[in-house]
Structure 1
Amino acid sequence: MGTKWNERAVPRLDDRVAVVTGANSGLGFETARVLADRGATVILAVRDTDKGRQAADRITARVPGARLTVQRLDLASLESVREAAAELRAAHPTIDLLINNAGLMYTPRQKTSDGFDLQFGVNHLGHFALTGLLLDRLLPVPGSRVVTVSSVGHKIQADIHFDDLQFDRSYNRVAAYGQAKLANLMFTYELQRRLTQHGSTTIALAAHPGNAQTELGRNTPAPVRAAMTVAMPLIAQKASMGALPTLRAATDPAVLGGQYYGPDGVGEVRGHPHVVTSSDKSYDVAVQQRLWAVSEQLTNVKFPV
């Protein structure tokens, strides 16, 4: 059995441009660090630009000469998404990699500035809009990729609640997260179908980190968080390992559009990245297409494919 895929397998990425959302910490930071180390120009697309600049400094300390820029992006505001996309389009005639990594988990009931459920708005709709607004910068680039980070949470209390997408009637933070992460996968699969029909060499993939030690769980209810703090070293892996499925989806020359990467260990909790299977619900083409149509309506973003 050969060596398992790790960050040393990431090829050189000189002259490539990569946009990574949520790159100031956790999985996004580790993803940006490795891409920069391999020579890519990396845009850290973050809500807090001070934290983004601090992250850039930490990467530069480890990767002298890293080519990094910080871009303000608040996925909870479609106005901010449009402004960020316009600035990225002005600065970069082409983009090779778009990594939709930023996310929120188990937040209390909150709304985005556009009135969407916060988890659905940030995790799905914000990234849907950003991808649609940037896709024509990826389409001319042979082999360009859109990688969207989902979660094993897409299998937990997860459904697309078309009758109450924003959880206005009753709010369940676990179900809201499950819906958002299921939407990430359905978006990926429908985007890949459209890219194929368009005859494009751009591909769409998804990834999940398993159980990684990041700040994502900061909104978990206090008793659960206390228990997780004790158990985390035993059941979770470092963020640098959690980022590997994303990095493989983004850079491995052998990947195929529509694939989903996650850890190879028991329950996909820890391990090295390989192709995994998402829930049966995630492959429902009719629901994928309905979600796409609703997402276009809610964001007022139409894709060029």
Structure 2
Amino acid sequence: MESIPDQRGRIAVVTGANSGLGLVTATELARHGAHVVLAVRNTAAGEEAARRIGGRVEVRELDLADLRSVRAFAAKLAADRPVIDLLVNNAGVVLLGPRRTTADGFELHLGTNMLGHFALTGLLLDNLAAAPAARVVSLSSITHKSAHLDFDDLMVERGYGAADAYGRSKLATTVFGVELDRRLRAAGSPVLSVLAHPGLTRTNLTPRAWEHRGRLGRVIARLGLVATQSVEQGARPQLRAATAPGVRGGQFFGPGRLWETRGPVTEARLSREAADPAVGRRLWAVAEELTGVTVARHHRAVGG
């Protein structure tokens, strides 16, 4: 596991912390002294994870596919924890079935993986800004590199394919993390927005998601059994983003070998679309309209 500095005195929030990458991340943060909030949809699974983790952890219910749940979670946490040092936007869904929607009518991948985290981050940003060196870590995917955001069909209502929808949601998440960095810098905020992706790990369906993405996708899918790494290895990039000294806003971490599918952590490459400021501005405006969460220049967020 990555060398992690002492986390004592820090409050960390990890979404989807009851399994997979989130569980490893929460465990390591707690093991190094952080007080960790396990933000989970299934609280029974969260309580079981808390028992496994030990240390200073608490379980709170959060369903990112329901903006009412996001607002309720954020309001209670913001009141209870005036200062938050770390938000790891880890939770996500990967589906291979027919098109599904969130409680608010959003395509499920986009609504959960990006829009739910967009609203959560906005609603907690003042608490993060109260910390001396807070970070927001957004979990991307290598699938973002072959995806494209169609703003005329953002909810993938035409020609739906689950793998394509997942890739689009991860591109949207990546665009969000990059644009958040731009806006935090412009506001002179002390909060850092950092990104990470796990490559191919044995806990997700990324290899299967690649199968329907053309020749390159099929090649990567076939390499899956060779390229996949353990969940502990897959969590290293986001732990680096969350805890390493000297991290800069906008940095993107991922595995450094086999086309970023596995290996030691290094700086990863953004797709051209993910790095495009025009795409970032447009997606931000759409996300504010869809979620009803507007983040003002000095962080104050309003959620209807």
The two structures have a TM-score, normalised by structure 2, of 0.90
Q: 1:86 to 1:218 in 2, by over 3 A?
A: farther
Q: How is 1:218-229 mapped onto 2 (pairs within 5 angstroms)?
A: none
Distance 1:119 1:48 in 2: 18
Residue in structure 1 matched with residue 301 of structure 2 by the alignment: none
Between Structure 1 and Structure 2, how many residues are aligned?
A: 289
> Quick one: which amino acid aligns to residue 147 of structure 1?
V
Is 1:90 the equivalent of 2:84? no
Counterpart of 1:42 (choices 36, 44, 52) is 36
Secondary structure of the structure 1 residue equivalent to 2:262? coil
Distance 1:279 1:117 in 2: 23
Distance 1:218 1:298 in 2: 31
Pairwise CA distance, 1:107: 3.9
Is 1:18 the equivalent of 2:12? yes
> Quick one: which amino acid aligns to residue 17 of structure 1?
I
Identify which range, 106-115 or 37-46, moves more after superposition.
106-115
Q: Is the contact between residue 213 and residue 232 of structure 1 (CA under 8 Å) also seen in structure 2?
A: no
Pairwise CA distance, 1:219: 8.3
Pairwise CA distance, 1:230: 10
Counterpart of 2:277 (choices 281, 285, 291) is 285
Counterpart of 1:53 (choices 36, 40, 47) is 47
Pairwise CA distance, 1:234: 2.7
Q: Percent identity?
A: 49
Residue in structure 2 matched with residue 225 of structure 1 by the alignment: none
Q: Is the contact between residue 27 and residue 239 of structure 1 (CA under 8 Å) also seen in structure 2?
A: yes
Secondary structure of the structure 1 residue equivalent to 2:229? coil
Distance 2:223 2:181 in 1: 38
Is 1:138 the equivalent of 2:128? yes
Q: Is the contact between residue 186 and residue 283 of structure 1 (CA under 8 Å) also seen in structure 2?
A: yes
Q: How is 1:101-180 mapped onto 2 (pairs within 5 angstroms)?
A: 101-108=90-97, 109-156=99-146, 158-180=147-169
Q: Deviations over 1:196-227 (max 9, x none)?
A: 111111110110000011144698699xxxxx
Q: Deviations over 1:218-254 (max 9, x none)?
A: 98699xxxxx999755321110110000000000111
Distance 2:223 2:38 in 1: 31
Structure 2: tracts of 5 or more residues without a match? 212-219, 298-304
Residue in structure 2 matched with residue 246 of structure 1 by the alignment: 238
Q: Is the contact between residue 111 and residue 117 of structure 1 (CA under 8 Å) also seen in structure 2?
A: yes
Distance 2:222 2:158 in 1: 35
Q: Deviations over 1:46-82 (max 9, x none)?
A: 000000011111112xxxxx10000100010000100
Distance 1:106 1:50 in 2: 22
Pairwise CA distance, 1:172: 1.5
Residue in structure 2 matched with residue 181 of structure 1 by the alignment: 170
Is 1:196 the equivalent of 2:185? yes
Q: Is the contact between residue 207 and residue 221 of structure 2 (CA under 8 Å) also seen in structure 1?
A: no
Distance 1:233 1:107 in 2: 19
Secondary structure of the structure 2 residue equivalent to 1:264? strand
Secondary structure of the structure 1 residue equivalent to 2:193? strand
> Quick one: which amino acid aligns to residue 279 of structure 1?
S
The two structures have a TM-score, normalised by structure 1, of 0.90
Pairwise CA distance, 1:304: 3.5
Distance 1:71 1:123 in 2: 18
Pairwise CA distance, 1:272: 1.7
Secondary structure of the structure 2 residue equivalent to 1:70? strand
Structure 1: tracts of 5 or more residues without a match? 1-5, 61-65, 223-227
Residue in structure 2 matched with residue 33 of structure 1 by the alignment: 27
